[in-house]
Amino acid sequence: MQEIKITTTLTCYDNIEELPQDVQELMQHAVEARKNAYAPYSNFRVGAALQLENGIVVPGNNQENAAYPSGLCAERVAIFHAGAQYPGVKITQMAITATSDNHINKTPIPPCGSCRQSIAEYEMRQDSDIEIYFMGGEGKIMKSNSLKDLLPLIFDKSYL
């Protein structure tokens, strides 16, 4: 019997201004996308923006539904759009921002488990890492160099 310890390393930035210029702009796209979220049930708005290697930015936001599970998270709206519209074009970075309409979230809010699994699929598909930056509505930002740092023991196609 043996214990296995899994560690991960993230970078934390104090605010948007501390990010590299190109990432600041990507996060601004995510903030704009957040404003267009359709979130009448949770009042929790999430915006995502993907940087593609060809320079295009793909936005996404959460889309809710009266039948709750029929809605979709911002991250998957964005990544599925990229997969549909720009297959074969690599995603290099992803910026995420999330906040409630009722109070401004100031701690970084990471993607949910289902979104992590979906992002993992795209890293596998393109065979390269996606940098992930996530923020609340404002304040500190966390960065992981790859989805793999957010989801240990990933289930992937190698098991099929």
| Residue range at the interface with ligand THU (CB under 6 A); choices 13-21, 38-46, 86-94, 136-144 | 38-46
Q: Which of 25, 53, 64, 75 is catalytic?
A: 75
Cβ distance to ligand THU smaller for residue 24 or 100: 100
Among 26, 30, 57, 73, which residue sits at the site for ligand THU (rule: CB under 6 A)? 73
- Nearest C-alpha neighbor of 130 from the set 143, 114, 140: 143
CA 2, distance to chain mean position in Å, is 34
Place of tokens 């009448």: 40
Other C-beta atoms closer than 10 Å to the C-beta of 116 total: 18
Q: Under the criterion CB under 6 A, does residue 46 sit at the interface with ligand THU?
A: yes
Select from 68-76, 86-94, 139-147, 150-158 the region that touches ligand THU (CB under 6 A). Answer: 68-76
Is there a catalytic annotation at residue 17?
no
Kindly state whether residue 117 participates in binding ligand THU, applying the rule CB under 6 A. Answer: no
Q: Is 72 helix (H, G, I), strand (E, B) or coil?
A: strand
Q: 74-85 and 113-126 helices cross at what angle (nearest 10)?
A: 20
Residues with a known catalytic role = 75
